Structure 1
Amino acid sequence: MATSESAPVQVNARGMKCPWPALRAARALREADAILIEADDPIAATELAALAQAHGWTFAQLGDYRFSMSRHV
Structure 2
Amino acid sequence: MSTEFNVTETLDVKGASCPMPVVKTKNAIDDLGEGDVLEVLATDSGSMSDIQGWADGTPGVSLLDQVEDGDVYRHYVEKTE
TM-score, scaled to structure 2: 0.74
**Relative to total residues, which structure has the larger helix share, 1 or 2?**
1
For 1:14, what is the secondary structure of its paired residue? coil
How many angstroms does 1:43 deviate by?
Answer: 0.4
RMSD: 1.6
Identical pairs, percent? 19
The aligned length equals 68
| Equivalent runs, 1:45-56 vs 2, <5 Å | 45-56=48-59
Letter paired with 2:62: T
Partner Cα separation in structure 1 for residue 44 and residue 75 of structure 2: 12
TM-score, scaled to structure 1: 0.81
The answer for the alignment partner of 1:58 in structure 2 is: 62
- Structure 1 unaligned residues grouped into runs of 5+: 1-5
- The runs of at least 4 consecutive aligned structure 1 residues that moved more than 4 Å come to none
